[in-house]
């Protein structure tokens, strides 16, 4: 079955960077792109961006463009999301999910990674 | 940017039908997807492209979309359906196309 397993919780100070991993299994990694979504405490989901696993094309939301980098490692079927210059507003649960294309719904989700930003 | 409006809460008795609305300007011309999120869990896709249902989702879940309102309908509601539900649309109208989520509706099973 399709599984997306994310890295563990992180605690960061303002100004630092965080890199979250998303290891996939149960399907052919390059057949589906990876999208990243975050959810602040008590809030709804917020889309962050998308990366093609076949050619590494990316599409980031304007709000965080310039601070985020999404990458993949096809040898390990793993996707990564790095967010820099963290502030308290970046405190959230970060999810990876599969999506056929940038405009496709999000089929399968990881369990989420809590990133806390505090001085 | 495109705005999706959902009622904060819907309550329904077990066995009855729950309808969760998602309002947006001419949303009937967009494709709407719905997610269920239980406390402490990741969202789960329950309806995609307005009315299609993943095979792992019970037939009790259905969707429709017309005019300015998309609707998620849950028939024969069970206690296990209690969750937050979010609608989602791809906003291609702006200079920077973007996924938009509604604010979410908390479904309470009485």
- pLDDT confidence bin for B4, thresholds 50/70/90: very high
**pLDDT > 90 fraction of chain B, expressed in percent and rounded:** 94
| Residue B94, pLDDT above cutoff 90 | no
> Which residues in chain A have their CB less than 8 angstroms from residue B33's CB?
105-106
Whether the per-residue pLDDT at B95 is higher than 90: the answer is no
**B94 vs B108, higher pLDDT:** B108
Mean pLDDT of A56-83: 95
pLDDT on residue A116: 98
Give the model's pLDDT for residue B18: 98
Span A105-116, average pLDDT: 97
Place of tokens 């990564």: A80
Looking at the DSSP bridge assignments, the partners of residue A82 are: A19, A69
Shortest Cα–Cα distance, B11 to chain A (Å): 19
Mean pLDDT of B99-107: 97
Of B19, B15, B16, A116, nearest to B7 by C-alpha is B19
* pLDDT tens digits, one per residue of A1-54: 999 999 999 999 999 999 999 999 999 999 999 999 999 999 999 999 999 999
Q: Is the pLDDT of residue A80 over 90?
A: yes
* The pLDDT of residue B109 is above 90: yes
| Residue in the block written with tokens 């502030």 | A87
CB within 8 Å: B90 and A111: no
Number of other residues whose CB lies within 10 A of the CB of residue B46: 23
Q: Using the beta-carbon criterion (under 8 Å), do B48 and A95 form an inter-chain contact? A: no
Contact A59, A102 (CB under 8 A): yes
Closest approach of chain A CAs to the CA of B13, in angstroms?
25
Q: What is the per-residue pLDDT for B97?
A: 87
Measure Cα distances from B91 to A62, A110, B26, B31 in Å.
13, 24, 12, 10
Work out whether strand B18-23 and strand B32-37 pair parallel, antiparallel, or are unpaired: unpaired
- Which residues in chain A touch residue B45, judged by CB atoms under 8 angstroms apart? 105-107
pLDDT surpasses 90 at B1:
no
Structure confidence by residue, pLDDT tens digits, B19-50: 999 999 999 999 999 999 999 999 999 999 99
**Chain B contact set for A105 (CB, 8 A):** 33, 45, 48-49, 88
Q: How far is B57 from chain A (nearest CA, A)?
A: 12
**pLDDT score of A97 more than 90:** yes
CB within 8 Å: B45 and A103: no
CB pairs under 8 A between A and B: 44
Interchain CB contact of B99 with A (< 8 Å): yes
Closest CA to A35 of A26, A27, A24: A24
The neighbouring-strand residues paired with B22 are B70
Which among B99, B103, B106 is the top mutation candidate for probing chain A, defined by the most A β-carbons within 10 Å of its own β-carbon?
Answer: B99
Taking an 8 Å cut-off on Cβ atoms, the answer to whether A47 and B48 are in contact is no
């Amino acid at each position: 079955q399709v599984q997306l397993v994310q890295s563990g919780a992180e605690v960061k100070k303002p100004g630092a960077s965080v890199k979250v991993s998303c290891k996939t299994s149960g399907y052919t990694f390059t057949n589906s792109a990876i999208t990243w979504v975050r959810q602040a405490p008590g809030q709804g989901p917020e889309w962050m961006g998308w990366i093609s696993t076949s050619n590494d094309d990316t599409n980031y939301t304007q709000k965080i463009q310039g601070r985020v980098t999404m990458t993949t490692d096809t040898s390990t079927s793993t996707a990564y999301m790095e967010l820099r210059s963290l502030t308290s507003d970046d405190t959230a649960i970060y999810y990876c999910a599969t999506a056929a294309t940038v405009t496709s719904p999000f089929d399968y989700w990881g369990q989420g990674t809590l990133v806390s930003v505090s001085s | 940017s495109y705005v999706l409006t959902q009622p904060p809460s819907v309550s329904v008795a077990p066995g009855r039908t729950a309808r969760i609305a998602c309002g947006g300007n001419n949303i009937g011309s967009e494709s709407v997807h719905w997610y269920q999120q239980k406390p402490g869990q990741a969202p789960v896709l329950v309806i995609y492209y307005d009315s299609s249902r993943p095979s792992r989702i019970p037939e009790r879940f259905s969707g429709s979309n017309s005019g300015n309102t998309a609707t998620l309908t849950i028939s024969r509601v069970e206690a296990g359906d209690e969750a937050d539900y979010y609608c989602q649309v791809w906003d291609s109208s702006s200079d920077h196309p973007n996924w938009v989520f509604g604010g979410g509706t908390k479904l309470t099973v009485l």
